[in-house]
Amino acid sequence: MPLPQLTQARAPLTREIEVVNEFGARETIAIPAERDLTVYVDKRELVTLMTLGAHPEWLVLGYLLNQRLIASVDEIESITVDWDVNAASVKTRQGIDRIEERTSKRVVTTGCGQGSVFGNLMDEIDSIRLPESAVLRQSQLYAIVNAIRLKESTYKSAGSVHACALFHGEALQLFVEDVGRHNAVDTIAGWMCLQEGLPDGEKIFYTTGRLTSEMVIKSAQMGVAVVISRSGITQMGLDVAQRVGLCAIGRATNKHFLCYASPQRLVMDAVPALAPQPLRVRA
Amino acid sequence: MPLPQLTQARAPLTREIEVVNEFGARETIAIPAERDLTVYVDKRELVTLMTLGAHPEWLVLGYLLNQRLIASVDEIESITVDWDVNAASVKTRQGIDRIEERTSKRVVTTGCGQGSVFGNLMDEIDSIRLPESAVLRQSQLYAIVNAIRLKESTYKSAGSVHACALFHGEALQLFVEDVGRHNAVDTIAGWMCLQEGLPDGEKIFYTTGRLTSEMVIKSAQMGVAVVISRSGITQMGLDVAQRVGLCAIGRATNKHFLCYASPQRLVMDAVPALAPQPLRVRA
C-alpha cells in the first residue's frame, strides 16, 4: 500500500508582541503562535485541535491512530492542511467504520486541561505487549537529557510549549513542540507510522510533560517501553506503567532521575560519584 | 432558591510510592493521587473527569457552569459524590434542556492535553462585559505572588499538580490544586457560585498554568477582569484577553512580571528599584 499523500503546510511558530514589564517599560517578546485546526474526515467534521502547527499532517495522522479511529496508516489516502481556512481534510480509502458511535464516549483527562479520549483506551491496555528486551542504560538516559538541553527550541524563544522527542538508543529521531503535550506525542505517532524498520526495543520516548495515564498509554500504544520525563508522574500514570511493564523515568534533569516503574529495565552503567560530604566541625 | 445539597466526599490527595534513584537506591516519595470521577446528570452519564478530588462537588458544579450546561446554581438540586464507585450524581431541578445536542460539538483545546469544551464558548466572548473599574495594583500583585509562595501544598509535597487561587484584593479566598489546571479553575467557579456578595471589581484570579484561550475565557465568564500566571501566554489566550479587556499578567515570580493585555488596568504603585549595574572596567 502506498504511503498517504500529505501536504507540508507551514506557519510561523512564534509571534512577537509588546508587553509592559515590572518597571512600566515596554518590551517586545515572542509567544507561541497557537492556532486552531479543524479536522474533517471524508468531509465530516471530527474535531478542532489547538496547535502550534509545526507538523499538522503528522499531528492529524497520529491523532487518528492514538484515538484508535484508524488501525493503520494504510487506511489513509491523503491529508491536506490549508492554514488559510485552518482545516485539515482527511481522505480515507474505505471510510471509518461506525465513526459516530466510536467518537461518542468522552473521558475528560488530566493533561493540564480537560482532554478528550474517545472510546475506551483504558480497556485496551491489557492487550499491549511491550518488547521484553527493551532496556534503558543510565548512560543513554544522560545522553538524551543532554541532547534535549542543547536543542534550539520554541520553548527557549517563547516558552509555554511542551516538547516530546523520539530517540533510537541515543540518536534523536524527531523533536516536536506544541502548545499541548498530547499534540506533540500524537505528532510523533504520526511520523512513526510513516517510517519503516524502526526496531521496537530501541525506541525511547522523552517528554517535558508529566507522566499522566494518557501519556503512558500513548507511549505503550506506539510500542515504546521506555519513557523519560522532566516532570513527575500521577497515580494513574503509574498504575498504567506498572500494568503494561513500561519503564517510567521522571524528574530527569542533569544527573538526577527517579525510576517509578519497571526498574528491571534500567541498566545502571553510569552511577554518579556521591557528592563529597561537607566537613563536620565538632562544636 | 435554596443552595444545592452537596456531599463533602474526601479522599487522600497524595500516595506514597517507592522509586529507584540515580544511585540505584530505593526511596519513598509522594505522588498526586489522581482518580477518575464519572459525572451523571439526572442518571445520564455525561463525562469522566480525572481529578485529585479535593473538592469534587465544587468541581462538578463549576464544570457544568463553565461548559454552559447550566446558567445558574439554582438549576441544581443536589450533587452526591461517592468515591467507593468514583461517581458524582447530579440532580437538577428541571432537567438540562437539549443536553445531547449541546454536548455534541467538541473542541480539543490546548491545556497540556486535549481538552474538550462543549459548545461554542468562543462565540460567547463578545457578550462578556468585565467591570470597567477593575484594576490591579502592583503592590497587590506582589502580595498575591508571596501568598502563593508561602502556601503549604500538594505541589510542594508531591509535585505534578497545578494550582489556582481566587483573591479578593490581597485576601486569599480559595486555593485549589488539581492534576489538571482546568479542574482547579472549575472548582473555583463552583465555589464562587455558592457565595454571596463577592464584589466583581475586586476579584483577582491566580493560576500556575499558562494563559491559554480557555483559561482566559473561563476567568472572563466568572466576571474576573484580572488574571495572574506564573507561566506565559499563548496567542489565542492573548487574543481573547484583548477582545474582552482582561488584564493578563504572566511570568509572575518574585518581583518580575509581564503584562500582556490591558495595561491600563495596572497601577504601578510598587516599581522596584533598578538593580545596580555592574561596574564596567575599561579594557
**Closest among B191, B157, B147 to B13, alpha carbons compared:** B157
Whole-angstrom Cα distance, residue A48 to residue A139? 41
Please, what is the average pLDDT of chain A? 87
Q: Which of A12-16, A123-127, A151-155, B265-269 has the lowest mean pLDDT?
A: A123-127
pTM reported for the whole predicted model: 0.84
Write the ipTM. Answer: 0.82
Answer whether residue B16 shows pLDDT above 90: yes
Distances in Å between the alpha carbon of B44 and those of A161, B57, B95, B282? 37, 17, 11, 76
Burial pattern B179-208, b for ≥16 Cβ within 10 A else e, equals: bbbbbbbbbbbbbbbeeeeeeeebbbbbbb
Instruction: Please state which of the four CATH numbers 3.40.50.720, 3.40.140.10, 3.40.50.1360, 3.60.10.10 is assigned to the domain occupying B136-267.
Output: 3.40.140.10
Measured between CA atoms, the residue of chain A closest to residue B100 is A104
What was the pLDDT predicted at A282? 54
Q: What is the pLDDT of residues A132-150, one digit of tens each?
A: 999 999 999 999 999 999 9
DSSP state at residue A233: B
Residue written as grid cell 507561566 = B231
Chain B residues within 8 A of A35 when measuring between CB atoms: 235-236
Among A182, A234, A258, pick the best mutation site for testing chain B contact (most B Cβ within 10 A).
A234
Judge: A34–B116 Cβ closer than 8 Å, yes or no: no
C-alpha cell at A237: 500514570
pLDDT for residue B109: 45
Give me the sign of the Cα torsion angle B260, B262, B264, B268: negative
The helix (H) or strand (E) run that includes residue B240 is helix B235-244
Distance CA A246, CA A223 (A): 10
Q: Please indicate whether, in this complex, the C-beta atoms of A31 and B257 are within 8 angstroms of each other.
A: no
Is B181 in contact with A113 (Cβ distance < 8 A)?
Answer: yes
Sequence ranges of chain A with CATH classification 3.40.140.10:
136-267
Smallest CA-to-CA distance from A188 within A169, A175, A204, A201 is with A175
| pLDDT confidence of residue B190 | 96
pLDDT at A280 over 90: no
- Calculate mean pLDDT across residues A224-250: 94
Q: Is 90 exceeded by the pLDDT of residue A270?
A: yes
CB atoms within 10 A of CB A184: 28
* Backbone φ and ψ of A84, nearest 5°: -65, -30
- Burial label for A255, CB within 10 Å (0-12, 13-18, 19+), is middle
At residue A250, the pLDDT reads 96
Q: Where is pLDDT greater, at B260 or A154?
A: B260
* Best residue of A120, A136, A235, A262 to probe chain B, by most B CBs closer than 10 Å: A235
Does residue A283 register a pLDDT over 50? no
AA letter at A248 = A
CA distance linking residue A163 with residue A206, whole number of Å: 8
| Interaxial angle between packed helices A213-221 and A181-192, expressed in degrees from 0 to 180 and rounded to the nearest 10 | 0
Distance from the A249 Cα atom to the nearest Cα atom in chain B, whole angstroms: 9
Q: How far is CA B76 from the centre of its chain?
A: 21
